[in-house]
Structure 1
Amino acid sequence: MSGSFNVCFFARFEDGTMWVVRIPLEPVVEDSWIKIQSEVATMRYIKLKTTIPIPRVHAYGQSTQLTKSGGSATFMICDFILGQRLQFDKVDNATEERRTRFLDELIDILVQLRRLEFPTAGSLMPNPVDDSEPIVGGFLGMAMNELQRDTGKKKNLVSFSSAEAFMDHQYSILSEYYAVPMANLQQPSIEEHLFVLDSLAEQIPQLLDPQWSNGPFVLSHLDLRCSNIIVDQDLHILAIIDWEFSGTVPLQYFTPPLWITGEGRSGGFLSFQDAILRSFEAVLQAKSATSESCAQLVREWNWNNKPKLMFPIVQILREPDTLARVYRRHLCHRFYEGSLKEVVSDFFAHQKRAKRLKPLVSRRLEASKRYTEYLIDHDLLFIDQDEERREAERVALIKEGMAKLGIGKLTSTSS
């Protein structure tokens, strides 16, 4: 079985126990050995410090025995959790009782993560002196992994002692992401991208609360999408999986799952009508009456103040390809009057700040034309180029990684 970042094999023992062997696909995953070490350190720390249900790690390392070529491959062996990946529709259509119980369990997990504070922002790494106390290394973000993959350029992994430095770094990754040529871009799309980037550069510093500038930095999953939550048929949470891009982050970057609050959804969203969001808020408020930890989250996730504006910004920084969609639906009306199209048109027609961006529009338009011609010449151009190009490139990289591992058709293994 293969996913976006790993290929997995399954081992079933005589007593029915199952383990999964996960091998990062190196063309897709940069710094795979560092990533595995970080994920293991994170999972073992969570096992030690919380009751959050996660798979137990049995072994990890690098081996030449996993490939036909004899090349080294990174691996991790952990428990396979019997259950099913959470489906959004199952939560959305659940009875109020079942949905409330699920959200209650999810909030308990978020509360436990909120308690895990660190002096700096980054990714956990094994401590050579004390396994029970991991150190904070450079931040291994998913957005940075995607940027390195797309550009072929390595980025230095760094940790951060202030929220401002962390957010500046995440914004720089976002900005560089949109400097990479894309096919079939038209001038209005380029202007939209540049306008939104300019707007975020202005808004992010204003939204950062100075009281949290130097911490705390909180351990966060950072990819808590539905598919990374394993549940049973009654929506009891059995495990949280795929901690590969987790890290310690500024408090402003520690959010509820953004598919709950709406920013992480691709479809339509009306917050005042949304059953999942309303239930989440109600459960958290109810729990806050008897739990100071939940009351703390209510204060820090103040739905009617600045922190709520950070949710869509965090979504964009985590997944840069959601830039225009999230800004259009969740931010534009908070800062401007009119549609995003109207605001962008006015900005480039009348604002002085637009003057420095106009040459960049021309350069990116020309770069897009050259890139499009290259794709056409090599029969790689898709009609829906933005989504399909990225998907095709991802699939090609996965196949390349599987080929390097000597994998053809994937089958389960047993022992």
Structure 2
Amino acid sequence: MRTRMYFDDVAWERSEAIQDAWVHELFKEETLMAIGQFILKHRRGKPVELCDPQAGGFNVSFRMKFEDGGSAIIRFPKPGATMFPEEKVRNEIDIIRYIHQHTTIPVPVVLHWGTKEENPLGLGPFIIMEYIDHVMDLSDVLNTPGFAIKDRPILDPNIDDAKLELLYGQFADNLLQLSTLRLPRIGSLVQIDGFTWEVAQRPLPYSANELVRVGTLPRSKLPRANETFQSASTYFNTLADLHLEHLIHQRNDAVESADDCRRKYIARVLFRKLAREGRFTTSSTNLGPFNIWCDDLRPANVLINEHLQIVGVVDWEFTYAAPVEFSHAPPWWLLLEQPEYWPDGIEAWTKVYELRLRTFLKVLREQEDAAIGHGRLKDEQRLSRPMQQSWESGDFWVTYAARKPFAFDAVFWKKLDGRFFGPGMNTEDDRWKGRIDLLTEDERTNMEKLVEKKLEETRTRVLAWEPDEVDPNILN
């Protein structure tokens, strides 16, 4: 039985096809010339070279080198990969400016940006930024030597302790600075004027993009564009509801059997029950203030120079004010790889992670001591204590399950079911059978209706997808 939710492969193939077709258009000579000219309108200097485009998961970037030694990049969200391109770009611009004004975290300098309508190239919304000169990203430094680009990265098990502490310590300082930025509501920041921001738009997490892209979730199931949250419990409720909606609406590859569907349904209903009971937050944190949180803040987005110093932190598009519990959970990326993808399973990941977490908390405490000594932090603002408590209590897994819809099943049955509902009498694969009695009569009835629906869907493979704002002729 599957331990996690698989992507809808039909939607994934369509997403990839749209991306590939769009990227192919970029290599036309007239397109490249137009991109170069557009950069020159917003960055002074004599151009030397327009480099080959660099494609990430959600964006494509072009770098223009200048005679003065500097560079600028223009970045476009990729159609087919980015489900909310306009919203994503606006959010990133506002949060970059906010972080630049309130911290010393080295974020990009924005030269110009615009919406799809403001882009004369016809390539969608864009950002033009000063290029941050670097040698590699932090993932490259931490990754196991010999791994190919196509391999999923895993922290080098033989990495030198002093080197690891140096790198973890710098990242810890950035997390510490972010944790001091407190906001009154959960949602995305909007810049009102040069020095004023408001939480005025919905949170746009990484998971929202992926639920629509490869989970075929209708956009109407997400929070409204201007919907913000005044309590952590309300937001946890929303995330729990989305987990169930995801199971209901993913058209293909959601379940492999009737019992697999029941197992997934029961996990989501029980998680929703816990959320509605307010079990995931406390009275001291429920009403805020809330912390700045970036879903995509990980080593691959941290730029390093030849002296192993952080010189830039990029890709802030999935950043918003979130429940404090998110920031209080220690970072999952200490091993580079996510627990649900660990080769030997979540329990093996946990054992290795605990060793590296001790190192991270050690250097985090050192950063806290230094910040307190310089008057930049108060003792009650330490992150190390709540991070250690989050790990020891298992709250780390609550926030991980809430934020990760495709990892939810593995985490719920491995880490949450026993904690909240006691030891089960069945084997792990069959534990769900002992939880059926926790469902109401209506929930059990709805479960069987869903089983019938999902099994009927497995008879055919149909594209059920709401793409982004893409030219419908792009694949013609």
Q: TM-score, normalised by structure 2?
A: 0.71
Q: 1:151 aligns with which of 217, 220, 232?
A: 217
Alignment of 1:234-273 (within 5 A): 235-254=308-327, 255-260=329-334, 264-265=338-339, 266-267=341-342, 268-271=348-351
Q: 1:371 aligns with which of 442, 452, 457?
A: 457
Name the residue aligned to 2:194.
131
Shift in CA distance, 202/63, structure 1 to aligned 2, threshold 3 Å: closer
Question: Are 1:143 and 1:173, in contact at CA under 8 Å, matched by a contact in 2?
Answer: no
Once the 2 structures are TM-superposed, how far is the Cα of residue 191 of structure 1 from its aligned partner?
A: 1.9
Q: 2:165 aligns with which of 91, 97, 100?
A: 100
State the alpha-carbon separation in 2 of the partners of residues 110 and 60 from structure 1.
27
Report the residue type matching 2:405 in the other structure. Answer: P
Question: Are 2:330 and 2:390, in contact at CA under 8 Å, matched by a contact in 1?
Answer: no
Question: Are 1:136 and 1:159, in contact at CA under 8 Å, matched by a contact in 2?
Answer: yes
State the alpha-carbon separation in 2 of the partners of residues 314 and 55 from structure 1.
29
Name the residue aligned to 2:266.
195
State the alpha-carbon separation in 2 of the partners of residues 11 and 304 from structure 1.
44
Once the 2 structures are TM-superposed, how far is the Cα of residue 218 of structure 1 from its aligned partner?
A: 1.1
Shift in CA distance, 29/63, structure 1 to aligned 2, threshold 3 Å: closer
Identity %: 23
Larger relative helix fraction: 1
Q: 2:411 aligns with which of 317, 326, 331?
A: 326
Shift in CA distance, 273/176, structure 1 to aligned 2, threshold 3 Å: closer
Q: What is the SS of the residue equivalent to 1:109?
A: helix
Report the residue type matching 1:270 in the other structure. Answer: T
CA RMSD of aligned residues (A): 3.3
Q: What is the SS of the residue equivalent to 1:206?
A: coil
Shift in CA distance, 263/217, structure 1 to aligned 2, threshold 3 Å: farther
In the alignment, structure 1 segments of 5+ residues that lack a partner are 381-388, 409-415
Once the 2 structures are TM-superposed, how far is the Cα of residue 17 of structure 1 from its aligned partner?
A: 2.1
Question: Are 1:194 and 1:357, in contact at CA under 8 Å, matched by a contact in 2?
Answer: no
Question: Are 2:110 and 2:128, in contact at CA under 8 Å, matched by a contact in 1?
Answer: yes
Q: What is the SS of the residue equivalent to 2:406?
A: helix
CA distances 1:109-135 after superposition (whole Å, capped 9, x unpaired): 0111011111111111121xx222222
Q: 2:359 aligns with which of 273, 279, 287?
A: 279
In the alignment, structure 2 segments of 5+ residues that lack a partner are 1-53, 145-154, 343-347
Shift in CA distance, 232/246, structure 1 to aligned 2, threshold 3 Å: same
Once the 2 structures are TM-superposed, how far is the Cα of residue 96 of structure 1 from its aligned partner?
A: 0.5
Shift in CA distance, 290/76, structure 1 to aligned 2, threshold 3 Å: closer
Shift in CA distance, 261/239, structure 1 to aligned 2, threshold 3 Å: same
Once the 2 structures are TM-superposed, how far is the Cα of residue 291 of structure 1 from its aligned partner?
A: 4.5
Question: Are 1:67 and 1:73, in contact at CA under 8 Å, matched by a contact in 2?
Answer: no
Shift in CA distance, 95/299, structure 1 to aligned 2, threshold 3 Å: same
Question: Are 2:299 and 2:336, in contact at CA under 8 Å, matched by a contact in 1?
Answer: no
1:299 equivalent to 2:385? Answer yes
Q: TM-score, normalised by structure 1?
A: 0.81
CA distances 1:281-325 after superposition (whole Å, capped 9, x unpaired): 22223444555448521233243677x433222222222100112
